[in-house]
Amino acid sequence: MGGRDTEVVLLDENGIRCDGRKIDEPRRIMIKAGVLKNANGSAYIEFGDNKILAGVYGPRDVHPKHMSNTDTGILRCRYHMQPFSVTERKNPAPSRREIEISKVIKEALEPAVMLDKFPRTAVDVFIEVLQADGGSRCAALDAASVALADAGIPMRDMVSACAAGKVADTIVLDVNNEEDQAGQADMPVGYMPNLEKITLLQLDGVLTPEEYKKCVQTGIDGCKLVYEIQKKALTDKYFAGGNE
Ligand code: ADP
């Protein structure tokens, strides 16, 4: 949320945003399931200019063994940005931000995954950001969820994610990088569409109570749109022609 005093026109007089979208319009989203042969499940997502790969391995033995739990399986998650994923080379070592995002994605997925069905084992989710453009944690969560389903991991629901935010005093769907930098608020939302439960909610910025409610609802609406694309990615892989 830096640089709020920059001169970018975030919303013009016709309600059109800096990248040509309407306030309730998401960026283009494309998801492909099953892209990594050596993973148990995988997915590739393009969410606007974000390009992200997710690979799922497991359930498999836990090393070191003392990390395992006799009552339940464990979920481990690593969100990592490639050095070339942003304009200035990013140090490949995990940053505080990547450690935080790995944690929130793991916690956003946990309510959906039936970990109790495979005690003593681990399911590992590896996320590689190839190109980042704002909202990468949501896009990463979307890909990870499809990759888990592709791996055949029993799940209570899909987790769908999309951010909402405040730009030029207006609540908008799916904040891009420019809006994230120059806008007033960014709220990533992760949501289980069938169970109607939120599993990720973060907020960077300041909102009134009314704006907060509208922002959460806008994020949920975005998640519902993403959910249809996640389902299509899976039906495209598992049912010829993707007919559901
Ligand atoms: P998210 O990607 O989930 O929106 P942030 O709000 O922390 O997460 O980051 C917003 C955007 O800032 C990222 O998507 C990326 O485009 C950019 N960004 C993040 N880290 C770096 C970095 N180390 N160097 C340059 N740009 C970065």
Atom of ligand 1 nearest to the CA of 91: 23
Is the C-beta atom of 166 inside 6 A of ligand 1? Answer: no
Q: Which residue has the tokens 């992760």?
A: 190
pTM of the model: 0.95
Which of 11-15, 101-105, 159-163 shows the lowest mean pLDDT across its residues? 11-15
What was the pLDDT predicted at 225?
98
Exposure string (b/e) for 37-67, b if CB count within 10 Å is 16 or more?
A: eebbbbbbbbbbbbbbbbbbbbbeebeeeee
pLDDT, tens digit (0-9, with 9 covering 90-100), for 74-114: 999 999 999 999 999 999 999 999 999 999 999 999 999 99
Pairing mode, if any, of strands 50-61 and 185-192? unpaired
Which residue type is seen at 214? Answer: K
Nearest CA to ligand 1 atom 23: 90
What was the pLDDT predicted at 240?
66
What was the pLDDT predicted at 243?
44
What was the pLDDT predicted at 242?
46
Coil, helix or strand at residue 111: coil
Residue 81 CA to ligand 1 centre (angstroms): 9
Nearest CA to ligand 1 atom 1: 135
SS3 content of the chain, % helix, strand, coil (to 5): 30, 30, 40
- Whether residue 202 has pLDDT greater than 60: yes
Is the C-beta atom of 135 inside 6 A of ligand 1? Answer: yes
Mean of pLDDT values over 175-182: 93
Residue 131 CA to ligand 1 centre (angstroms): 10
Nearest CA to ligand 1 atom 26: 86
Find, among 182, 193, 195, the residue nearest to 226 by Cα. Answer: 193
Q: Which residue has the tokens 């005690």?
A: 119
pLDDT, tens digit (0-9, with 9 covering 90-100), for 16-45: 999 999 999 999 999 999 999 999 999 999
Spatial distance between the Cα atoms of 58 and 121, rounded to a whole number of angstroms? 8
Task: Map out the domains of the chain with their CATH numbers.
Answer: 29-239 (3.30.230.70)
- CB atoms under 10 Å from CB of 169, counted, come to 9
Is the C-beta atom of 80 inside 6 A of ligand 1? Answer: no
Tokens in use for 204? 């960077």
